[in-house]
Amino acid sequence: MTRKYNFSAGPAMLPQEVLEQAQAEMLDWHGSGMSVMEMSHRGKEYMSIAEAAEADLREVMAIPDNYKVLFLQGGASSQFSAIPLNLLHGKAGADYINTGAWSKKAIAEASRYCAVNVASSSEDTNFSSIYPQESWDTNPDAAYLHYTPNETIGGLEFPWIPETGDVPLVADMSSTILSRPVDVSKFGLIYAGAQKNIGPAGLTIVIVRDDLIGKAADITPTMMDYAVQAKAGSMYNTPPTYAWYLAGLVFKWLQRQGGLEGMAEINKRKADKLYAAIDDSDFYKNPVQKEFRSWMNVPFTLANSELDGEFLKQAAERDLVTLKGHRSVGGMRASIYNAMPEAGVDALIAMMRDFEKEYG
Ligand SMILES: *Cc1c(COP(=O)(O)O)cnc(C)c1O
């Protein structure tokens, strides 16, 4: 068996140890005589799995007690609508920061429910930069401020957290959650689809401060009402049980890596060496201003785009796969989430150097 180095932006690699544990527990979870997929979500075995996963995530992210952790379905994209529905609290609008493709999707969906004030947009830099907060045109009466700490497609990441005072800060952390420590208390709400850095697709995590829930708009679908889901322990209906279980195994794996501090050290090293390889060559290029470069998603172009196909072919011959860039950006994109081993990044860099020698 060969496990390839999979640079997909999502669904992405999972830690091999986690997959092996899931395999070992597949047919008979802890003497229950059944797989986790076959269990009642309300039975005591599954409840213990669900509760341990939440407790471990709370420990790993140091989530304060006055936050609910919800294990939902519908992906981050459903949250684009759930957020205005739950957090407007009768206000007319919200502030949004536009830093790329995912910001735009969040803005488009929120615009169906409220007046969106785009307080800052770096579209005029082709999303290669982020404007300092002093230049933002925020509305003091906004219900919340939404931003995308890491733009998965553009490879643009905030190195700082906005300060919004009494206005709740909302973050789409889909592609950066668990990559480094983060002060949860600075946020009103954090959400993330699981398939990048948490676990399998089908699970969406929402971390929301207690005082923000319970005031959803009347038209909010019951399934999307945070208060309903919080009260039901994320089990208003059948939750994505297997994805929740696997996420729990990932949280335990993170604890064994030294938590988020340990992860951050490894992630920074991986990103630094890949960007250094790009910057050290005239053949490869990354357009993002250095201080805003993503630790998780590294887009790069070749000096001659006609060589893209050959690059992808030679990479695949070395078991380096899913490197094709997003269709809106072109070139390559290496997503190097937590589960991408450092050896995978080293193998990619070696391949890039060899390719440049041949074609550069
Ligand atoms: C992948 C991604 C999404 C979409 O996630 P789904 O779970 O597929 O809805 C949203 N925002 C960001 C930043 C992403 O990376």
Domains along the chain with CATH numbers? 17-256 (3.40.640.10), 258-359 (3.90.1150.10)
Is 324 an annotated catalytic residue? no
Q: What is the DSSP letter of 325?
A: P
> Could you read off the pLDDT tens digit of each residue along the chain, which spans 360 residues?
889 999 999 999 999 999 999 999 999 999 999 999 999 999 999 999 999 999 999 999 999 999 999 999 999 999 999 999 999 999 999 999 999 999 999 999 999 999 999 999 999 999 999 999 999 999 999 999 999 999 999 999 999 999 999 999 999 999 999 999 999 999 999 999 999 999 999 999 999 999 999 999 999 999 999 999 999 999 999 999 999 999 999 999 999 999 999 999 999 999 999 999 999 999 999 999 999 999 999 999 999 999 999 999 999 999 999 999 998 888 999 999 999 999 999 999 999 999 999 998
The protein residue with its alpha carbon nearest to ligand 1, atom 13, reads: 174
- Check: CB of residue 145 under 8 Å from CB of residue 125: no
Query: From ligand 1's centre to the CA of 242, what distance in Å?
Result: 20
Is 175 close to ligand 1, i.e. is its CB under 6 Å away?
yes
Is 29 an annotated catalytic residue? no
Atom of ligand 1 nearest to the CA of 194: 7
Identity at 36, one-letter amino acid code: V
- Check: CB of residue 22 under 8 Å from CB of residue 208: no
Is 220 close to ligand 1, i.e. is its CB under 6 Å away?
no
Alpha helices in the chain (DSSP H): 16-24, 44-61, 75-87, 101-110, 226-231, 241-256, 259-279, 308-317, 342-359
Is 218 an annotated catalytic residue? no
Query: From ligand 1's centre to the CA of 144, what distance in Å?
Result: 20
Answering whether pTM is above 0.75, one says yes
